[in-house]
Structure 1
């Protein structure tokens, strides 16, 4: 049994350990005067640095949360290790041999558990790296070459190959003296009826390292068709590896992140490699989980996020999974003080594919096309709504109003309210009012996606329909058009009936009655008389029956069949003209939502449709 470490040895380790060097493995430090440094506290969330160290004194103190101590206490708190194990690790770091009272030092089996796991991962990484250059690794070599990575790139990132077979790594680590309990604790092995066997077999291997560069887990990519496992397989949660607290590539990127005040979040291991090789050395990736609060703590400490600037750029695919990831990132946006952005590559390519097809410069140029995260999240949210209908636009506005209200820079909110109004084809003042209301209200409940909403029952009570405002010129025009449809349906030609089917009205009362007219046209011959009116009544909303009765007896301003024909044509042309104006507004909103640089074909198509609608509108105007 190991004895107690002698007190004088503990003091010697403490005095020989450079606390600044230890702390800088976790926190970006800045000078705070002669012999003093400061940074964001790793023990609590803060926006301005209150964590100070004095290397000459060998101590740290946070004026925000009160945490303080020496290098030993710091490592114990950050790595969750016991006192003796921590002292042993620091002694090994400075090359000091410890002495023990009431017993000898720990044997190989009694070494600190964490260090033994670190040793096992280091040996495993070396094992995988060596196997990448064997004959059995031909598929792994082919995969890397096909992604544009050579041997030098593989060495830079420690990429390796887990050979096929059930016990290659297991035997290798057993031969190095690791016990069954230690092997189980690494997460590199599974257990069956016959005992332990290799978790990773016939796969390309990436070492996952913590911020100090220690390998704590692996990510593995399937290479062979007979592999029944998932495409990517990671180390399970262990004492060392917690995926919510790990960013792949952080060990390589941390210095550049601190220097450039920039962090780029990509989606996978090959994307990190491609970004670094293209010159974006601030790229990292999550390991099989969404970018969350624990990741943000790491990022903020590295950025030295004290209000002096900095940016976090997310790269997402434009597909549904990428959009979902963007919305999740937006939900965490308030935890940053750095500005957050999104980049979506052309044709939804990831950085690895982009580099492969278009070269390193294209990857660097991708960052130049960044746009604010909240703008991207707003556009993704609006895709859930039918923006071709008034109801859909209103629901879309209500959904994104809280998002606009949450923009940290208050000066940007009115500008984005106006931009969203352009996307929706709505009055900017209406959107600004919705944003103001959302900003003063408590946070809304999580919104269900449209497909998850329960459909309305046919027998559900409908809201009462308001009567149109008689002072509104649009209300008068719509009423006059309905008078013509009710009294003289025989004057309407087939092309006009076709357009009427999609015509919109400003007032629901008029829309409901028009629905009844269209239903009647589909069932009986369109000619004046009781059958026509009764069929309309049978298929129109009950609330419109009084209006229908009025329209059947309203006098039309015409004294001859010729005048009646001209009047009917003119009033219907006005209604159709209103519809064309509404369609133009829809197309303008759609045009505003498109980016001519990335959606050129769609943008040109909408432009052509706008020209067609305008020509049609002019024809109707000249016919009046």
Structure 2
């Protein structure tokens, strides 16, 4: 029910790279191209590309791709209309007809976010009225500015005060039930959080999607979180990530703590890359989020620590408590994929304190020293296993070897495995050759990661020169339509492309009006004063082409529209684009010349068609010479 003009307005205002960068650490990948780790499948080397100039993204690993709306749909698991609303709010655009019939079919994400935003202000107002709640926070070293910065609040110890507040703001019973802010009993709905300190939990883009709550007294449960909702899935959320993501991407380091006050303490100590899980163990989905932000890769050097203390490939530092639960959490992290484990460190306070307690007792410097005291996860995990063995006895040492050897054998990096084999012999006090033999026997064939092929082979893997030129020409048309138009690409006949999928893409381009349609759109945007009219027109053009393509061709269009273009300056880009189009034209003319010559050989010179064919051959020969001399 949103008018097409409003959707186009959102597309014009939004920069796709800004949206994607909220979820993925993007790095330069050549002229007008950026890349990072795909957020839609697990990978160790970046194959996810974004072309800001055309407003498209594509993963060459899993084959997914599209525009900024499809990205938000996939990453936030929401329908198209809510993706438009999501981006419209970011762009400051008021959409029309948002309350049409389509909006009444269910609870929208936008309404849930609005309810949480109002709840944040409600809880903050309540905190300002409650001296005991304020004392709870200030007594832990957090002043008013910090409390306001993290938007900490307080839920009054009443049955339905927030419920009545949100009803008064026009929310329906169905919407209120879907927020997760309320429970239901015999008397109907009532406030889920009562008499607790409230921490808003934000999505990576900064929207409030849930709350973490701590009781002030001795009641149970001590901590209470928002239940699973349309907005909030705890296995995919890290508290503080919206504040920390820029620092994580810049430093390629993340510090993972266990509580909300630990995040606050770490940030106050200058460790602005600190985040926390929300009432659950650090799991696979958290790993994927972290790896995308630090730009993790499968480089053999990942996790290798330099003399400066910095780890090549980024660092993930856990500050688990020194108790048994913390050690179990470390071992769970160890079980994640190897490149992640090789970059992971553990920092445990000798007295078993968490970062918030360390800051209270030792100040900001104490928190920084705690993080600096980290040790590699491999070492921590192996030593944790050995703690249960009585190493003063021969039987205990053998038991320790049996427990630790499979862990060392499981290290896929051969050099790193050798180093830990030597360390294990030292920790056990056993002969190195004996330990090495046992580790070797404890190992097995290492599994290979499954590779998912892309829809089209990458351009640099194409061996057929015709297929390669056709692919390069389509890349020019979709990514640089202004250059393609100047090179005369709209004059290409339908039969120019011989590779079936290329011909289908070209058919969709022609159905969209060719690059002439792009030029008209650019002129229209320019007349309206839209910033970057060429870029916005390019994005619109690719979308138009996609809409006119067969469903099985859309993925190919997405891939071609973001494929990296060889590095050139602006003048070089024009020469490259012109050269590719001329090469394609020459191929087409040469192919037609061959066909007509064959027909001439099969035609009687006295036949009326012979003269027409010969005339056409002369025209094509002349055209070919012109292309060769251009």
Instruction: Report TM bin, short chain.
Output: 0.5 to 0.7
- Whether the aligned pair in 2 keeps the contact of 1:312 and 1:338 (CA below 8 Å) is no
Q: CA RMSD in A?
A: 2.1
* 1:218–1:382 CA distance, 2 compared to 1 (3 A): same
Instruction: Determine the structure 2 residue equivalent to 1:263.
Output: 254
1:145 paired to 2:149: no
Shift of 1:211: 0.5
Instruction: Determine the structure 2 residue equivalent to 1:272.
Output: 263
1:123 paired to 2:118: yes
Shift of 1:107: 9.9
Larger Rg: 1
Higher deviation after alignment, 308-317 or 380-389: 380-389
Instruction: Determine the structure 2 residue equivalent to 1:282.
Output: 273
Shift of 1:195: 0.6
1:367 paired to 2:367: no
Instruction: Determine the structure 2 residue equivalent to 1:434.
Output: 438
- Whether the aligned pair in 1 keeps the contact of 2:35 and 2:48 (CA below 8 Å) is yes
Q: Using the alignment, how far apart are the partners of 1:269 and 1:167 within structure 2?
A: 26
Instruction: Determine the structure 1 residue equivalent to 2:185.
Output: 192
Q: Using the alignment, how far apart are the partners of 2:170 and 2:2 within structure 1?
A: 25
Q: Using the alignment, how far apart are the partners of 2:244 and 2:358 within structure 1?
A: 21
Instruction: Determine the structure 2 residue equivalent to 1:91.
Output: 88
Shift of 1:280: 0.7
Which runs of 5 or more residues in structure 1 are unaligned?
444-624
- Whether the aligned pair in 2 keeps the contact of 1:28 and 1:258 (CA below 8 Å) is yes
* 1:414–1:334 CA distance, 2 compared to 1 (3 A): closer
SS in 2 for 1:298: helix
Instruction: Determine the structure 2 residue equivalent to 1:320.
Output: 324
After the TM superposition, which residues 213-292 of structure 1 pair with which residues of structure 2 at under 5 Å, given as runs? Answer: 213-225=206-218, 227=219, 229-292=220-283
After the TM superposition, which residues 376-525 of structure 1 pair with which residues of structure 2 at under 5 Å, given as runs? Answer: 376-440=380-444
Higher relative contact order (CA 8 A, sep 6+): 2
CA distances 1:253-277 after superposition (whole Å, capped 9, x unpaired): 1000000010111111111111110
SS in 1 for 2:50: strand
* 1:429–1:195 CA distance, 2 compared to 1 (3 A): same
Instruction: Determine the structure 2 residue equivalent to 1:79.
Output: 76
Higher deviation after alignment, 58-67 or 248-257: 58-67
Shift of 1:379: 1.2
After the TM superposition, which residues 147-166 of structure 1 pair with which residues of structure 2 at under 5 Å, given as runs? Answer: 147-166=140-159
- Whether the aligned pair in 2 keeps the contact of 1:393 and 1:424 (CA below 8 Å) is yes
SS in 2 for 1:53: strand
1:30 paired to 2:17: no
Partner of residue 294 from structure 2, selected from 270, 285, 303: 303
CA distances 1:457-507 after superposition (whole Å, capped 9, x unpaired): xxxxxxxxxxxxxxxxxxxxxxxxxxxxxxxxxxxxxxxxxxxxxxxxxxx
CA distances 1:81-102 after superposition (whole Å, capped 9, x unpaired): 11222223333433444455xx
* 1:106–1:356 CA distance, 2 compared to 1 (3 A): farther
Aligned positions, number: 434
- Whether the aligned pair in 1 keeps the contact of 2:56 and 2:66 (CA below 8 Å) is yes
Q: Using the alignment, how far apart are the partners of 2:88 and 2:257 within structure 1?
A: 38
Q: Using the alignment, how far apart are the partners of 1:412 and 1:82 within structure 2?
A: 46
- Whether the aligned pair in 1 keeps the contact of 2:159 and 2:190 (CA below 8 Å) is yes
Q: Using the alignment, how far apart are the partners of 1:434 and 1:358 within structure 2?
A: 44
Shift of 1:421: 1.9
Q: Using the alignment, how far apart are the partners of 2:211 and 2:96 within structure 1?
A: 36
SS in 1 for 2:443: helix
- Whether the aligned pair in 2 keeps the contact of 1:85 and 1:112 (CA below 8 Å) is no
Shift of 1:333: 4.7
Higher deviation after alignment, 198-207 or 364-373: 364-373
- Whether the aligned pair in 2 keeps the contact of 1:15 and 1:58 (CA below 8 Å) is no
1:60 paired to 2:57: yes
Q: Using the alignment, how far apart are the partners of 1:127 and 1:187 within structure 2?
A: 16
* 1:104–1:334 CA distance, 2 compared to 1 (3 A): closer
SS in 2 for 1:34: coil
SS in 2 for 1:336: helix
Higher deviation after alignment, 210-219 or 143-152: 143-152
- Whether the aligned pair in 2 keeps the contact of 1:40 and 1:48 (CA below 8 Å) is yes
Shift of 1:167: 0.8
